[in-house]
Structure 1
């Protein structure tokens, strides 16, 4: 009888204490849910770096940063803006600004081969801010990042549209190709976000 009572007590105890595996699963689920609730939807993607097989988890890399997302092209009248974008990045990266460049051929002004796009960015203009693989930025095939930007503002009308995204991902301001990276208009907006 004593053995049976002990058996019932242990069984009852086992049923009330969650297993280590169950607690680990709950912790993992909570961590994923917490990441999703904190990380803005616009960053909940993995994107391949330009002319590389490496993928970047945007949440892990840029969560909590003020972003300037730019759709770029190698053979556009606005391509020299790479130089001013790089200067802007150098001036404000330590204050929390990250520029994310997305080459696009939506306007038929991007190189066919990514190695040529990379040469324009990294060699010709000395870009050090993150550049990603050639990306669709308009229409039904637009990358989810640009779909999100379109929902919050509008799709880019041309190359070198600039989207300033607040560190919490809630505020998005759009600037046309004609707005220079070092313009008072853009600099004022950036300083308000930092």
Structure 2
């Protein structure tokens, strides 16, 4: 099957694209409203935009109302990206629900918060990696908004840190986003094919 742009309206392109662009990492973004209400929400259109300066980006889609994450980031120009692990998957899912702006989603999701060290935003205490960011810019892309943030602080838990400045993927146990579901990330291999890495004892 081939589909030209003039035929996109005949198909559910969102499902076709999301089903092919996998697995996707999840940015579990914490932010704070100007009134001091903590917000926590996951976004799977997430990656590194630059390493000089270190810049992370994630995309916020459209909805019935502007998402609290976008409102907060525009107001405070700060946010934190927390990584989602297997142990935090259910809590992440709970935070994806459409809570009202006055709800503290750390409490709703059942996770603990602790203050950021470099920005005035709470972070998920249980997450092994936190990346504290200041807003670089918000780029409107069609009906979506691409948020680019400059990394100003990085936290990694000792048990997932490897010398020298590496993350142990076996201990990190990240969660990936598929189309409508999620995936474990547990096996790794090197190229050429056949050089399967064995889990460390």
Give the TM-score, by structure 2 length: 0.23
Q: Which has the larger radius of gyration?
A: 1
The structure whose residues are more often strand, as a share, is 2
Give the TM-score, by structure 1 length: 0.24
